[in-house]
Amino acid sequence: MSHDPNCLFCKIVAGQIPSRKVYEDDQLLAFHDIHPWAPVHVLIIPKLHIASMAELEDTHAGLMGQMAVLAPRLMRELGVTNGFRTVINTGQDGGQEVYHLHMHVMGGPRPWAKG
């Protein structure tokens, strides 16, 4: 399934739920997390509905690479100069709450609210 009508992040991709977008291309979307842990906290997601990292297949390797490459670029553009943290929560024990693959990218001066 490339789009899940019940998925929160698919609704954000479709524009049915608003988000504070920071980046968009054919494959990816990035937007500010609604409950930031850090002064800068964005989520990078594929537009394709992939429920979690546990569902990744070989064909997704390029997409994951694009997400990884986008993270430092967005941090630079958002003025983060002293390092950042990337987190991908997977499944129940991984603490995943939204089942559409996403990479948290957090930066900015400490202390942070969390993490």
Which of 49, 100, 102, 104 is labelled catalytic?
102
Q: Where are the beta strands (DSSP E) in 1-115?
A: 21-24, 28-32, 40-46, 84-87, 103-107
Site for ligand AMP in 56-115 (CB under 6 A): 89, 95-98
Nearer to ligand AMP, 66 or 90 (CB): 90
100 binds, among ligand AMP, Zn ion, none (CB under 5 to 8 A by kind): Zn ion
In angstroms, the CA 7 to CA 96 distance is 14
Distance in Å, CB of 13 to Zn ion, minimum:
7
Contacts of 66 (CB under 8 A, 6+ apart): 27, 28
Q: Is residue 60 among the annotated active site residues?
A: no
Partner touching 26 among ligand AMP, Zn ion, none, CB below 5 to 8 Å by kind: none
> Amino acid identity, residue 64?
M
* 3-state DSSP assignment of residue 70: helix
Instruction: Kindly list the residues in this chain that would bind ligand AMP in the complex (CB under 6 A).
Output: 8, 17, 19, 31, 33-35, 43, 89, 95-98
Residue positions annotated with a catalytic role: 102
